[in-house]
Structure formats: structure tokens, C-alpha cells
């Protein structure tokens, strides 16, 4: 968390107009904090301190509690991610079929490890427990502006080629 930030920093409604309908729908619904946080992250890409404060102001849930929930669940991000989010499956089938070698190829090619983003903010790597594509193991999914893409039966060479094709798009 930023060392010069306060959990009570002021928030501006105009900065969160996309989140307003979500809070109108779920803001007063007991037990809906995770749903609100999921939708906020879908909208903004991550949960910023101002977003946490805005959700707090609109729901009455303390910023500390929201931050606690956001840091407890691994699905939530408190830092921005790259334009392309690489989700590398580390489930049993992928592990057995060489996910570690695929991670090594990604790390060598992009210069990032799990949870890191490239310096140009193009790629973020996240290892995930399972993508549910076991017949394609090892597999990765890439979320980007074009939508979600799944790449299966990966080798060190094919994952590098896929990343190069994605990188060449813009």
C-alpha cells in the first residue's frame, strides 16, 4: 500500500460513475461486498485506494474491512495490471504436463515472474490454481482488449510464439 496514502482519503462521485449502478443495486444488500469488489475490479482492472474509499462511503463498510477482504482473497488485485493478463494454469494436469517449463519460458521471454507486470505495462503474469481446461494441459488464458484467449498443449516454443503474436498487435 502507498506509504503516503490514508485509508480516509476523499473520494469523488464523478471518478466512479461506472461503479454507481453496482452500488445502487448492491450497496445496501448484506453480504454483497465480494460481489461489489469483483465488479469494481472488472470495471477498473484493480481495486485502487480511492475505489476502496468510495465503496466504503457508499456502503458504510469501513475501508479497513474492505481492504482486509481484498487482501484475503487472491482474486483481488490492489495494483494495476498490464493490458494483457496471462493466467497460467498450475493445476494438477498442467503441473504434470510441464507448467513449470511454460512459466520458465514466459519468465525468460518477458522478464517477469508470477504477479509482476512488464515495464511497458503490456503483460502481467498470474499463476492460477485451475482454468478447467485439463484436456489442453499445459494451458494459459490471456485476457486482453480483444477478449479471452486460451492457448493449450503449450510448449516452450509455442508459448513464446503466442506472446510474440499478442505483442505485435499494437
**Can you give the pTM of this predicted structure?**
0.75
Q: Which of 102, 86, 15, 88 is nearest to 52 (CA)?
A: 15
Residue 137, C-beta contacts closer than 8 angstroms, at least 6 positions apart: 89, 91, 93, 94, 96, 97, 99, 152, 153
Instruction: Encode pLDDT of 118-165 as tens digits.
Output: 999 999 999 999 999 999 999 999 999 999 999 999 999 999 999 999
Q: Average model confidence (pLDDT) for the chain?
A: 91
Q: 66-80 pLDDT, tens per residue?
A: 999 999 988 899 999
Rg of the chain over all Cα atoms, to the nearest angstrom: 18
Determine the Cα–Cα distance for residues 119 and 39; give it in Å rounded to an integer: 27
Confidence of residue 14 (pLDDT cuts 50, 70, 90): confident
Q: Where in the chain is the domain with CATH 3.40.30.10?
A: 84-167
Q: What local confidence, expressed as pLDDT, does residue 27 receive?
A: 87
Band (10; pLDDT cuts 50, 70, 90): low
d(CA 39, CA 115): 21
Three-point CA angle 16, 123, 128, nearest 5°: 85
In CATH terms, the superfamily for domain 84-167 is Glutaredoxin (3.40.30.10)
Amino acid at each position: 500500500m502507498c506509504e503516503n496514502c490514508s485509508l480516509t482519503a476523499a473520494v469523488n462521485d464523478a471518478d466512479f460513475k461506472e461503479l454507481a449502478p453496482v452500488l445502487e443495486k448492491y450497496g445496501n444488500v448484506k453480504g454483497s461486498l465480494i460481489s461489489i469488489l469483483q465488479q469494481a475490479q472488472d470495471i477498473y482492472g484493480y481495486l485502487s485506494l480511492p475505489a476502496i474509499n468510495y465503496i466504503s462511503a457508499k456502503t458504510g463498510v469501513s475501508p479497513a474491512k474492505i481492504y482486509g477482504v481484498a487482501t484475503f482473497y487472491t482474486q483481488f488485485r490492489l495494483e494495476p495490471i498490464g493490458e494483457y493478463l496471462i493466467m497460467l494454469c498450475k493445476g494438477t494436469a498442467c503441473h504434470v504436463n510441464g507448467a513449470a517449463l511454460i512459466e520458465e519460458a514466459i519468465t525468460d521471454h518477458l522478464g517477469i515472474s508470477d504477479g509482476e507486470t512488464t515495464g511497458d505495462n503490456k503483460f502481467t503474469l498470474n499463476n492460477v490454481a485451475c482454468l478447467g481446461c485439463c484436456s489442453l494441459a499445459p494451458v494459459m488464458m490471456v485476457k486482453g482488449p480483444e477478449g479471452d484467449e486460451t492457448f493449450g498443449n503449450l510448449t516452450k516454443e509455442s508459448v513464446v510464439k503466442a506472446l510474440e503474436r499478442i505483442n505485435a498487435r499494437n
